[in-house]
Structure 1
Amino acid sequence: MRPALLDPLFADVTSIAGVGAKVAALLATLLVNPGSTVGPRVRDLVFHLPSSLVDRRKRGEIATAPDGTIVTLTVRIDRHQAPGRAAKSAPYRVYAHDETGEIALTYFRAQPQWMEKLLPVGETMLVSGKVEWFNGRPAMVHPDFVAPLAEAESLPLVEPVYPLTAGLTAKVLRKAVTGALERLPALPEWQDPSVTARQTFPTFADALQRLHNPADPIDLDPSAAALRRLAYDEFLAAQLALALSRQRIKKAKGRALLGDGQIRARILAALPFRLTEAQVGALAEIHADMAEDDRMLRLLQGDVGSGKTVVALLAMAAAAEAGAQSALLAPTEILARQHAAGLGPLCEAAGLSLTLLTGRDSGRARAEKLEAIASGRTDIVVGTHALFQDDVDYRDLGLVVVDEQHRFGVHQRLSLTRKGRQPDLLVMTATPIPRTLVLAAFGDMDVSRLTGKPAGRKPIATVAVPVERIGSVVERARQAIAAGEKLYWVCPLVEESEKSDLMAAQERYETLAAHLGADLVGLVHGQMKGEEKDAAMAAFKDGRTRLIVATTVIEVGVDVPDASIIVIEHAERFGLAQLHQLRGRVGRGDRPSSCVLLYRAPLGEVAKARLEVMRDTEDGFRIAEEDLKLRGEGDLLGTKQSGLPGFRIARIEHHGDLLEIARDDARLIIARDPELKSERGAALRLLLYLFGKDDAVRLLRAG
């Protein structure tokens, strides 16, 4: 049960004076994640922080007001210009002047009587808002604030500006936030006194008051104490939740999986290459974990093509030597099939039996596979989430390997390991994640990193080309196909939407098919059925088609070793991590490979920096760190679709230094007070609820 002390913060926003059903609906679009079944709460308003502030101390003059900045002007109202009846959608303009020039105060859908009352002709007024210059003439659209000079003295000189949504005014939101802050109960301090002293943190309540009532722009700075305090609270809640999940997984005793090395030796003998130093090191860590009684909880981070799958196979071979089964979980059916096809010959050479189980299996074929798994006739099961459905029974599941972990969150990590006798867990990601983000998402895990590429991987020449030169890119594609090469052509969206000018995959497919020959061009995108996707990829793999137009479904793991060119359209719209993932689809065979980044000018600063990084380096870890600097963690790896935490207040690019402190603090708390029963433990339970980590509290109750 949530502590009663928090009830005022978890009340519906309609409990605040002035917030009715209509305003609540607008607040829902602003404050609540899409798909949430719960409407906005008082807490959501408390955590909805200002993004900037209006500083009315900055008085200006019309002639010198800079374009795009908020200024406060003292002006005399000259005349009103209402739109004619024929042009109802035209704006209502009020012209005013000071000693330096004239300005138009512009309103849309304004009532003339109301306007004449608001801005009486001949009156000297104080107006505040953003000045914009058009053709040498200044205008202020919908001033934030208007008052006669005499009344203006009573106004706040500094006022916070909040992110808004269509239909919600700043005034209504501000009133609702003030009402929410009044509900804030007196909460006990959950932070360690040494941390608050060292970081000079204010209390939780003081930090919120300071952010919602800033006296100066510095109060809203990410490096200011108030914002850092709340960021640390959020990090600590997240790290505590991870530490509790780690405790839960570790508490259920594992077992030592010790093998004699025979099966591993057969696999190594069958490999057409030698393991890299990084692979040998990672395997040593994994095998040491597996030999312990405690359960393994390890993240294997490797760049695109660093050889993670071989490491996973050798871990599964060690489990088989100890008489246990392994499950390899892939995020998509295409990948599951690919893993099964790639690992099959090596398993055969080593005497291991492998079963592919997907949602598509049915009838007798599925029954036979389930029997092979339940009887222990199969050593390794490869598949999607279908591996963990209720009717799948393992004789003895000892190791679970999860591919592309950022698609699965902490709770999936727990559910995956409920099958079998507390199996070890090895999680792999080909998305190089910056160190701070690894802490944020995988604070409950030990980490191994595969750096460098296996022998034989070719460097990829990367060029950026403006979209105006697309004709020459298509011509180059024609020559490449004639020379026997294969190409990927990546588009960001599936079909042209009204909201976007992105070239649709469907349309690009049609134009390329017309230029290069319909029988040579294939298409694969996320809205196709599984069978259609598989058929399109198989035709490309077999060489029946030579160019495949794709959306980002090919981003993760699709393996066509003889594809040597990738064209990425609208490259400026992709994040660095995603561009790097896509580029990793080529350079896997023995041909020299290239990546063409097609962009639409003019490029913004961030897009320009992104394309430069792509040209400069193929080191995924460096790319990930640069991406974090350029974009912040919110977009990295598409947090919304992944198991990665999206933080509401904290910004990893600004507050990353606090993450490590939070992780160490969380682990120390759990070591000293595993049930959170002490006085501080009780306060920390409040923190978990406040930041939406209710699941972690349930873990405590479940023991």
Structure 2
Amino acid sequence: MRPPELTPLFASADVLKGVGPHVMTLLKKALRMPPGITQPRVIDLLWHLPTGVIDRRAEPTVAAAIPGTIATLKVRILKHKAPPRGNTKAPYKVATEDETGRLDLVFFRAQRSFVERQLPVGEERYVSGRVERYGETLQMAHPDYIVAPEARADLPLLEPVYPMTAGLSGKVLLKAERQALDRAPVLSEWQNAPWLKERGWPSFHDALRRLHHPDDAADVSAGSTPLQRLAYDELLANQLALGIVRESFKAQRGRPVKGDGRLRERIATALPFSLTNSQRTALKEIEADMGAPRRMLRLLQGDVGSGKTVVALLAMTTAVEAGAQAALMAPTEVLARQHAETIAPLADAAGLRVGLLTGREKGRPRDELLGRLASGEIDILIGTHALFQDDVVFHDLAFAVIDEQHRFGVHQRLALQTKGGDGGANMLVMTATPIPRTLLMTHYGDLEVSKLTEKPAGRKPIVTKQISNTLIEKLIARIKAQLAEGAQVYWVCPLIESSDVSDLAAAEERHAHLTQVLGEGVGLLHGGMNAAAKDATMAAFADGNLKVLVATTVIEVGVNVPNANIMVIEHAERFGLAQLHQLRGRVGRGSRESFCMLLHAEPLTKTAQERLAMMEETEDGFLIAEKDLELRGGGEVLGARQSGDAEFRVAGGANYAELLSAAHDDARMILASDPSLTTARGEALRRLLYLFECDEAIRLFRAA
């Protein structure tokens, strides 16, 4: 159970004074909350960190106040001058003074009774806001704060500035943040004292206080010691949790799975190419894992077109040779069907019985499929999230492959594993997103890793060029000539339909334009279409009935049309490097020379220039991934925003890679010396896991 001292932090935010239903709705928009959490909590406010401060410490006299600066002034109220009745445009003015000069406080569309209550004639008040000169007079329009001398302490001299949402007042949020801070307990230290001293880092509680109630403007700067401390805490919690999941997994009794090679031999013979050296190495590593008495959990990362599907099929065939079943799970229906089509001819050659289960299979066909699966008549089941459902029962699942792992959480991975019965299923996770080492540690720290670094023989380099969108008609003319020679073209647009807000070329408009210029044979594919329409369009393109496919990024992962040799990416400057690389990987799969044209608007930002230049320079996905990490930071590279994965709430800024590497090593040492976290530091670290909601790790401890 969660330690009682943390209970106040996990209470709903509406326990705080001034946080009613309306403010809760606004907080829900402003705060980043973990997946599955629908109502803001006190802890979500604590992780909502300021991005800067407003410094109100300058307290000059009125005469010494500098126009254009923020100042806190002590003044006496002289008189109120309301605007003429009916004139809503004229301001409401309040004349004030100190011993050195006069200051007008100015309010537009103000309620007279409110202003009179705030500023009673003859009394003193502290006012804080921006001082401006209007003619000969100094004035302050709509002071940020008006407080009586006895309430002076309520005026935040260093006021944190938080990310906001429309309708949420800064004062309301600040008040809620201060109350959340008051509920934060002082906890036993979980970091090593020498490490804290060496870094000059404060305690956890002091770090929180200095961020939400800064002593100095530097406290909330990007590399500040309070921020670094909390970032390291979060990374250490992440690394510990992954380490615990990994150790727990290794400790579970596995199921050795060994084949005799007869079916794999048939597949190898049916392949139109021989395996690359890195494919052979990966298969040896997977085979060794499968044959071991512990459970297998391995990541296969390979660049676009490096032959991961073939490796996965041969590994699944090993399980079938051993008399068991295998499963392959993909994140989308399009990708699941693509895998089924790629695997079908090879499976036929080996006599493997393959089934496909997506959300579209319903009624009697679905029931029949599940019956065949449960009786062992299906050797390999390919599908989407539908594989998680309770009524999907395998006769004997020994091996499971998850494609594009970053779209699935640890929980989902475990859910598929448990379908493997007593010994659990051996697990292979695949990704076509080459992942830098830092992200491997963060998102895949619980997996062993195999890499595919070569492309199959016969794959030609893809000529990549950036082109200004002013030359679009020239490009279309060149494409027309290529189409006459049998080429096929992907044309990717970033939006589905026209928008008043954006000037981006929309897929529907581009489709209409290309149809006008190139004639029939131009298809359209976007995320708003139903699955059957998507499949029909893709099939028409794959069969060559469509020559040009205008699409949004739904074609990014897994679509395989060997004859397609031209990729046009419109508004390429709006895409991330990894996404550009994934899209380019849709061409260059056949014997024709292939091209990737990066259409962009002028002028390009420095970052966009670097991205497009990198695309022209190299096809090496691992180099591109490192550059993407450098340009974008860790939180976004794996598409976390799109996939619903929780990004880090504190970590990800200055020194990210260095802190993550240290946390990775620290977690390994902790678990090596105190695997059950029972020492004094171990107990404190358990609280850290609860604080950052590493529930999977905590659940495994409780089960142990």
Q: TM-score range, shorter-chain basis? A: 0.7 to 0.9
Query: Would you say 1:341 and 2:341 are equivalent positions?
Result: yes
Alignment of 1:107-126 (within 5 A): none
Partner residue in 2 for 1:535? 536
SS across alignment from 2:655: helix
Deviation at 1:451, TM superposition (A): 1.7
1:425 aligns to 2:409 (yes or no): no
State the one-letter code of the partner of 1:418: T
Which of 471, 485, 490 lines up with 1:469 in the alignment?
Answer: 471
Q: Tell me the equivalent position of 1:358.
A: 358
Shift of 1:408: 0.7
Alpha-carbon spacing, 1:632–1:379, altered in 2? closer, same or farther (3 Å):
same
Give the match for residue 594 of structure 2: 593
**In 2: Cα distance, 1:370 partner to 1:328 partner:** 15
Contact 1:587–1:593, Cα closer than 8 Å, also in 2: yes
Following superposition, the deviation at residue 282 of structure 1 comes to: 1.7
Paired residue for 1:631?
632
Instruction: Return closer, same or farther for 1:67/1:314 CA change in 2, 3 Å cut-off.
Output: farther
Q: Go from structure 1 to structure 2 and tell me whether the alpha carbon gap of 1:117 and 1:388 turns closer, same or farther (over 3 Å shift).
A: closer
2:282 maps to amino acid:
A
Equivalent-residue separation in structure 2 for 1:686 and 1:469 (angstroms): 59
Cα distance per residue 1:209-261 (max 9 Å; x no partner): 22223344432233332211111111122222222322343333112222233
Q: Secondary structure at the match of 1:447?
A: strand
After superposing the two structures, state which structure 1 stretch, 355-364 or 47-56, moved more.
355-364
- Unmatched tracts of structure 1, length 5 or more: 61-65, 96-103, 133-138
Q: What's 1:394 paired with? A: 394
Hey, what does 2:310 align to over in structure 1? 310
Q: CA deviation at 1:112?
A: 8.2
Counterparts of 1:295-694 in structure 2, within 5 Å, are 295-420=295-420, 421-517=423-519, 519-642=520-643, 644-651=645-652, 654-694=655-695
Structure 1 residue 389, shift from structure 2 partner: 2.5
> Is the contact between residue 469 and residue 599 of structure 2 (CA under 8 Å) also seen in structure 1?
yes
Aligned mates of 2:326, 2:94 — CA distance in 1 = 74
Q: Which residue of 2 aligns with 1:135?
A: none
Matches of residues 159-238 of structure 1 in structure 2 within 5 Å?
159-238=159-238
Counterpart position of 1:8: 8
Aligned to 1:23: 23
Indicate yes or no: 2:34 matched with 1:42. Answer: no
Residues 10 and 461 of structure 1: CA distance in aligned 2, closer, same or farther (over 3 Å)? same
SS at the partner of 1:417? helix
Going from structure 1 to structure 2, the CA distance change for 1:264 and 1:462 (only over 3 Å counts) comes to: same
The change in CA–CA distance for 1:312 and 1:35 in structure 2 (over 3 A counts) is closer
Q: Deviations over 1:265-292 (max 9, x none)?
A: 3322322222222222222221221121
Corresponding residue number in structure 2 for 1:100: none
Classify 1:493/1:387 alpha carbon distance in 2 versus 1 (closer, same or farther; 3 Å).
Answer: same
Q: Number of aligned pairs?
A: 689
Of the structure 1 ranges 686-695 and 674-683, higher mean CA displacement relative to structure 2 is found in 674-683
Alpha-carbon distance in structure 1 between the residues aligned to 2:626 and 2:301:
14
- Flag the 1:412–1:82 CA change in 2: closer, same or farther, 3 A: farther
Select between 274-283 and 561-570 the one with higher mean Cα deviation. 274-283
Amino acid corresponding to residue 472 of structure 1 in structure 2: K
**Deviation per residue, 1:609-632 (Å, 9 max, x gap):** 222222222211121111122122
Q: Classify the secondary structure of the residue corresponding to 1:666.
A: helix
Once the two structures are overlaid, the 10-residue window that deviates more, 602-611 or 424-433, is 602-611
The question of whether the paired residues in 2 share the 8 Å contact of 1:628 and 1:653 is answered with no
Q: What percentage of residue pairs aligned between the two structures are identical?
A: 57
TM-score where L is the length of structure 2? 0.86
Shift of 1:557: 0.8
Residues 308-329 of structure 1 show CA distances to partners (whole Å, capped at 9, x for unaligned) of 1111122122222322221111
User: Contact 1:489–1:568 at 8 Å: present in 2 too?
Assistant: yes
Q: 1:665 to 1:593 in 2, by over 3 A?
A: same
User: 2: distance between equivalents of 1:166 and 1:142?
Assistant: 19
- Residue 430 of structure 1 aligns with an amino acid whose one-letter code is A
| Alignment of structure 1 residues 131-170 onto 2, 5 Å | 158-170=158-170
Deviation string for 1:53-94 (max 9, x for gaps)? 23457899xxxxx9999899999xxxx999999997899999
Partner AA of 2:690 in structure 1? Y
Is residue 2:285 matched to residue 1:285?
Answer: yes
Q: Aligned equivalents of 1:265 and 1:41: distance in 2?
A: 57
CA distance in structure 2 between the partners assigned to 1:491 and 1:105 by the alignment: 52
Q: Tell whether the 8 Å contact from 1:46 to 1:208 is kept in structure 2 after alignment.
A: yes
CA separation of 1:502 and 1:249: change in aligned 2, threshold 3 A: same
Q: Secondary structure of 2:418's partner?
A: coil
SS at match of 2:54: strand
> AA paired with 2:482?
A
Mapped contact 1:670–1:676 kept (Cα < 8 A) = yes
Q: Distance in 1 between matches of 2:497 and 2:86?
A: 38
Match of 1:63 in 2: none
Equivalent residues of 2:495, 2:507 under 8 A apart = yes
Match of 1:261 in 2: 261
Tell me the distance in 1 between the aligned counterparts of 2:415 and 2:616: 41
Aligned 8 A contact 1:571 1:598 in 2: yes
Cross-structure match for 1:99: none
Query: Contact 1:228–1:655 (CA<8 Å) still a contact in 2?
Result: no
Deviation digits for residues 17-57 of structure 1, max 9, x if unmatched?
Answer: 33333333322221254985542222222222110123457
Tell whether the 8 Å contact from 1:441 to 1:645 is kept in structure 2 after alignment.
Answer: no
Return the alpha-carbon distance in structure 2 between the equivalents of residues 436 and 393 of structure 1.
37
Q: Given the superposition, is the C-alpha separation of residues 233 and 454 from structure 1 closer, same or farther in structure 2, using an over 3 Å criterion?
A: same
Secondary structure at 1:426's aligned position in 2? Answer: strand
1:419 match: secondary structure: helix
Q: CA deviation at 1:111?
A: 5.8
Counterpart CA distance in 1 for 2:601 and 2:93 is 37
- More deviation in 568-577 or 188-197? 188-197
Does the aligned pair in 1 maintain the 2:562–2:589 contact within 8 Å? yes
| Contact 1:491-1:504 within 8 A present in 2 as well | yes
Q: Distance in 1 between matches of 2:396 and 2:209?
A: 56
Letter matched to residue 205 of structure 2? A
CA contact (8 A) 2:35 2:644 kept: no
Alignment match, 2:99:
none
Q: 1:416 Cα deviation (Å)?
A: 1.0
Written as runs of structure 1 = structure 2, the 5 A alignment for 1:57-136 is: none
CA distance in 1, matches of 2:631, 2:455: 25
Instruction: Give the Cα separation in 2 of the matches to 1:683 and 1:369.
Output: 50
